[in-house]
Structure 1
């Protein structure tokens, strides 16, 4: 069955490449920001570890500064992970479970997003999965080489995104539940040491930057927190259901419950690396808003759990699951279908997440009309600055004037003095803040750029020429 799984996954790979090449969406602001990081390689960055920047550096040197040059990372990582999952699930259960676990998650909306958009979630899920798989075999054979390999993958997961720290407590939890004696084996600690050494550059970078990343993560956990907040809790639950294309979520839920009754070590393993992640963010959602993707990495082992119980379900339920999942994934990729199917009110253009992926290339071209190569290009929104860096012809270096929280761009201000006495091109969602005007002697409105999506204006940008830059930004960032 591996041949068929390979064929289907190759189909998804080709589809995603063609989608990126020909469907009229641009890089998301986060993708553009991470690409910009790759032009300033460092040990770490303000909000995330460096893996996403390193991968972008390599891929864009092969494919150029293009959407495919960025997104090929996500496409290839998801393809490789699907094939690796086949062999792991086969080891755990059977060829049939392996086939479903390798193929069907391509129809999960969360997996689909991470297979096209290249954000920090893509490498996190990939290296999280490799860490979990290596951990499983390390427990089985208890060899030093496998424990070291587990440490390598865990370290790379940490370099991808900070939630990789869940690997340590969940690994200890599984050992406590199934093989307590291994907790006394020194070979296990080699994996922790190796992971720590790989993660050490991130800690060194933070030590040099006043631990700004940890302040940022802490702020995210506490921002607008009050307990209990049931609206954010149910928003989180709804997000998790949609992340797994609805019905598969309930298969996973059923699998978690059955694990406590069957006490099968394989099921316990899959549940240990998924359920606690879900519960942690569920609890956090009772205090503040939790984005659906935050718990996404925990669904890797849950997807194998899904495959196991999916095969035990009635044919009619299997059919319904596949049809609904495929339909939702199709809508996710082509949201204008909502209009053609008469479902526009269900997802109006201004609530369509795809609106964040359109208009950036056009904005870059418009700014390029006023940019001679000498002006300072900046915005008060890092999203705009990142997109301009990617889409303005020539990929100029761009800057951010911080009126809200800190961003990575706050650490890249050393080049501002080179623009002293020159004009600037400023782009915003509205006017020019008075704080910004302190750095200039005058302004001139140049153009309004409207972004149309699904026959409706979903966003407006305003381009200004600011005159005679004084050589520095008089910023006052508010929080992390």
Structure 2
């Protein structure tokens, strides 16, 4: 009898537990209640996604950009020509704890969770400023945007500068809103000094992550000055001087490195923007299609419609939402205009969309509004995409099936080479072509006249081989047509007389450029199955004199090319 009671009780608890999330996610009564951070459905959701991210970071294939930033972490600097240094510092700390992809990405799930909380608290601040109740539905909407929107989901997995950029921007927004919130009770009160310190600190973190911070900071400044003067006839000069000085102090490594290196990073970034601008609508449409894919069409349209509605009603310009909307607008228009004339990557504008989330969720009613069924479908699709797809790619059986599918329909898996060939490249060179590459642990002793070292012809080949080859060796980069981190890392004048095996894509090979630094002794072309369409070239040779190598090295550092 006691056993039967215990069984019934256990069954009841189990059914209640299984039904609980649905009751909380889709019950109008619960969704309209005021949100509490200790709500079990919220903590459970955060825990589940946080746990999933640790599975993903350990098993998701390392992208070209990720291994590039990982290679930065083995050669720490105040900053880098391609981007600010925070991503390298973050990877360095992670690899102190764990090896491989798990170590390189170890801090990303933590940073993503803190960014989510800052967005949640910012949304709550908007509700307070607008004298609204911050409901469970609003909190759930924050989770939908930050956890199951593809671009923000991936930025909680991958080793990219965007992770700490979003942390810095969301933290800066939260403390800026806190400063406004502190003045509600007394219109005569100035912004608090403590909020200026915190705002400046997080803005500095963002500036240590990506140069996107500058146009967003301008948006923060203009929106704040306008609202404070419009509402309270105040400007808060001390707040802004403090915030700007603190942010510059935190981001000072970037300025110091650039000062020491002829502002190379600033010149490099200008090549991404408007240098060589030529009207190209194809580039612009690719950028828009990419944005639709990154955010999914329903979230992209929702965001743009929200901003359009805001500016279409003059009375709303004085709304506190301007603190999110103006930074977004400045960044989005800047990137979009750039896309009209140059290749602009869709994820460049995503930090602006991220800052929109706290404002959007205060007005969006996906589960209590008029389009409940549609939004349930959209969110379910988003959840499937954001959970099933990364999980599938993390499994070897799925990847093998994907490769076999390509082989079945096209005869080879060449389109997948940049994702999957690196893991087995060294073994396949030996097994298929009897090319044995001996690799030594990083860093390599550069007194190398007695043995062959390895180099490549493009930055991502260099980084991928360094990450996946045995002992994670130092791979040199002999690309003299594009500026990269390796243009600074590898002083060519130290390589006089060194023997090299150069391995890379045939498409990247420029014989004249390589002959400037190397006496070529042997070369051959080949391909590796199943990536048969990707021609690879192997070159053996000996480096030229120190004088010649120094001229090439100094020219590479002086001429910024992208």
Q: Under a length normalisation based on structure 2, what TM-score does the superposition of the two structures give?
A: 0.75
Q: CA deviation at 1:384?
A: 1.0
Question: In structure 1, what is the equivalent of residue 481 of structure 2?
Answer: 404
Unaligned runs of 5+ residues in structure 1 are none
Q: CA deviation at 1:306?
A: 3.9
The aligned length equals 466
Match of 1:290 among 327, 341, 344: 344
1:170 aligns with 2:232: no
Counterpart CA distance in 2 for 1:221 and 1:281 is 8
- Indicate the SS of the match to 1:274: helix
1:17 aligns with 2:92: no
1:384 aligns with 2:441: no
Question: In structure 2, what is the equivalent of residue 299 of structure 1?
Answer: 353
Give runs of aligned pairs for residues 95-114 of structure 1, distance below 5 A.
Answer: 95-96=135-136, 97-114=138-155
- Indicate the SS of the match to 1:226: coil
The answer (yes or no) to whether the contact 1:284–1:290 under 8 Å persists in 2 is yes
Question: In structure 2, what is the equivalent of residue 5 of structure 1?
Answer: 42
Q: CA RMSD in A?
A: 3.0
Q: Under a length normalisation based on structure 1, what TM-score does the superposition of the two structures give?
A: 0.87
1:130 aligns with 2:171: yes
1:234 aligns with 2:285: yes
Match of 2:418 among 341, 356, 378: 356
The answer (yes or no) to whether the contact 2:439–2:470 under 8 Å persists in 1 is no
Match of 2:502 among 411, 426, 444: 426
Question: In structure 2, what is the equivalent of residue 254 of structure 1?
Answer: 305
The one-character-per-residue Cα deviations of 1:429-469 (angstroms, maximum 9, x if unpaired) are 015724324544443457845374xxx65744333433466
**CA 1:139–1:410 in 2, change beyond 3 Å: closer, same or farther?**
same
The answer (yes or no) to whether the contact 1:128–1:154 under 8 Å persists in 2 is yes
**CA 1:468–1:81 in 2, change beyond 3 Å: closer, same or farther?**
closer
| Structure with larger Rg | 2
Give runs of aligned pairs for residues 102-251 of structure 1, distance below 5 A.
Answer: 102-141=143-182, 142-180=191-229, 181-227=233-279, 229-251=280-302
Counterpart CA distance in 2 for 1:52 and 1:248 is 28
Counterpart CA distance in 2 for 1:120 and 1:350 is 30
The one-character-per-residue Cα deviations of 1:105-156 (angstroms, maximum 9, x if unpaired) are 3211111221221111111111111111111112332110111111111111
Match of 2:537 among 452, 457, 462: 462
Unaligned runs of 5+ residues in structure 2 are 1-35, 128-133, 183-190, 431-435, 441-450
- Indicate the SS of the match to 1:31: helix
Question: In structure 1, what is the equivalent of residue 21 of structure 2?
Answer: none
Counterpart CA distance in 1 for 2:308 and 2:260 is 46
**CA 1:109–1:351 in 2, change beyond 3 Å: closer, same or farther?**
farther
- Indicate the SS of the match to 2:361: helix
The answer (yes or no) to whether the contact 2:151–2:347 under 8 Å persists in 1 is yes
Question: In structure 1, what is the equivalent of residue 438 of structure 2?
Answer: 371
The one-character-per-residue Cα deviations of 1:173-219 (angstroms, maximum 9, x if unpaired) are 21243112442532321001111222222112111111111110111
The answer (yes or no) to whether the contact 2:278–2:342 under 8 Å persists in 1 is yes
